Structures are given as structure tokens and as C-alpha cells.
Amino acid sequence: MYKYEMHLHSKGTSACGSAESVDYIERAKEVGYAGMVFTNHFIRGNTAIDRDLPWKEFVEFYRQDWLVAKELGDKHGIDVLFGVEDGYGAGKECLIYGLLPEDIAECENFRNMPIAEISAFVRGKGGFIVAAHPFRVRGYIKNPDAEPDMSLFDAIEVYNRGNMPEDNLKAEAFAKKCGCAVISGGDTHSTGGFGFAGISLPEIMGSEKRLVEFLKKGDYTLLYDENKNDFGEKLPSRA
């Protein structure tokens, strides 16, 4: 089985990141991870990129931070995939898998889309959209207990290493209630935080589309830091 971090930030693109994108390659080798998905903050999140840039320039800045890590990863046998974390209102955020920078660059209205349109766009491109840390409590989140509309999401992040344990337990209970698919993510902002969460897959993915195929099939298991949170029985991964 091959371990993948599914929620990761680097400081070139996420204002809250503390590690350069290339720093994660050596760390992945050290802790035995096969790959990672860069899900840096996008236009409506805590981005480090000037939001006033023309749209395609903004997307290109976003792409470059991932690309330098991908190029180094290719040299060292570490799978580095593209993803997005973006806000969609009231402090809530989503994770997007399966798209490439060019897909987003073509959609100049992306920055203004409500979550229903984001969901339709991602799914129309063959992607996979996840409700990130759905019950996180933070001062900027207006209603932490607001449940995600699962008609708009393909899964929820049931374990987020940056959450308080009770936030994750709410996500677990919600997932069990609605029977939705689940993922785990480290919400990693530094190399020291890498290697404690994500998913385990039966083979190297090699592409964003391949990852989505396995997410939709539910052909993966959850990884989480048992020393930080103990859920007891792990939730099944389901498509």
C-alpha cells in the first residue's frame, strides 16, 4: 500500500505555510509516503498570491509553486499531484482533486462562483470535491455546526490533523449518519507535520485523474495520527 498526504500547504502559495513546496519531497522519502496532493489556498482562501492579478496570471503563480515540487518529485520517485483548497462562504472551505491548472485557468468566473457552481464545474471536469474540515471551530467561521450539503460534495474530510478532536468527532458522526465517503488529511503546513494523515492506496497514482478513479471507487483506507486522536473503529472509505 502507498501512503498519500491529501491536504498540504506550502508558503509560496499559502500565506499560512511555513515550508517551501520542494521541502516536502525529502520529508516524504523520510517517512515512507509515496506522494502528496498540493492543496494550497486559492483565490478565496489564505493565499499568498496577489488577488488583483489578472486571472490567468494568478493561476500561473499558483501552478508554479506546485510545479517545482512536482519536477523534484519526479526525480526522486515521489508522486506530486495538483489540488486546490478554496473558500465558498462563511469561512467554510472545500478541497478539489482531479483538475489541472489549465482547467481552472479556462474558468475566469471561478472566483465568483457559489458552491453549487463550483461543484458542477469540478464534477463536469471529472474532478472530486470534498468538504474540508466541515465542523472546524475558528473565529472566522460563522456557524461551525452548519452541515455540508452532501449533494454538492463527493466526500468529507472526516479526519483533519489541524482540528480539535471534538471537531473531527462531529465529522465522523455526520459521515456515519449520512453514509458519505470520507478522507483524511494532515492539513500540513510544515515538514514536521508531514506523515501523520492521508490515505493509503493500492498503487502509485501517477496522475490526478487516476487518483479520482480510486477515490470514486473507495479503493483506499484512511491514515491518521493515533497519538493525536483516537477514533476507535475507522470509518470505511466509500464512493
| Secondary structure element (H or E) that encloses residue 62, with its range | helix 55-76
3-state secondary structure of 63: helix
Under 8 Å CB-to-CB from 213, ≥6 apart: which residues? none
Evaluate whether residue 30 is within a structural domain. Answer: yes
Phi, psi for 108 (deg, rounded to 5) = -70, -15
pTM (global) more than 0.85: yes
How many C-beta neighbours within 10 Å does residue 55 have?
16
Evaluate whether residue 141 is within a structural domain. Answer: yes
Under 8 Å CB-to-CB from 111, ≥6 apart: which residues? 43, 44, 55
Q: Are strands 79-89 and 92-97 parallel, antiparallel or unpaired?
A: antiparallel
| 222-232 CB burial, b ≥16 within 10 A, e <16 | bbbeeeebebe
Question: For each of the chain's 239 residues, which pLDDT tens digit applies?
Answer: 999 999 999 999 999 999 999 999 999 999 999 999 999 999 999 999 999 999 999 999 999 999 999 999 999 999 999 999 999 999 999 999 999 999 999 999 999 999 999 999 999 999 999 999 999 999 999 999 999 999 999 999 999 999 999 999 999 999 999 999 999 999 999 999 999 999 999 999 999 999 999 999 999 999 987 544 333 334 433 33
Residue 204 maps to which CATH number?
Answer: 3.20.20.140
| pLDDT of 238 | 34
Cα angle: 49, vertex 53, 56; to 5 degrees: 95
Assigned C-alpha cell, 180: 458519505
Evaluate whether residue 137 is within a structural domain. Answer: yes
* Of the candidates 174, 150, 146, 161, the residue with the CA atom closest to the CA atom of residue 228: 161
| pLDDT of 239 | 30
Question: How many Å separate Cα 206 from the centre of its chain?
Answer: 17
Strand boundaries in 56-176, DSSP class E: 79-89, 92-97, 128-131, 155-160
Evaluate whether residue 72 is within a structural domain. Answer: yes
* Of the candidates 61, 57, 21, the residue with the CA atom closest to the CA atom of residue 191: 21
Evaluate whether residue 219 is within a structural domain. Answer: yes
Q: What is the pLDDT of residues 168-185, one digit of tens each?
A: 999 999 999 999 999 999
Evaluate whether residue 228 is within a structural domain. Answer: no
Evaluate whether residue 239 is within a structural domain. Answer: no
Query: Which residue is listed with cell 474532478?
Result: 127
Number of structural domains, the chain?
1
Domain encompassing residue 208? 2-223
| pLDDT of 226 | 55
Q: How far is CA 29 from CA 26, 32, 36, 191, 195, in A?
A: 5, 5, 11, 11, 10
Evaluate whether residue 73 is within a structural domain. Answer: yes
| pLDDT of 234 | 42
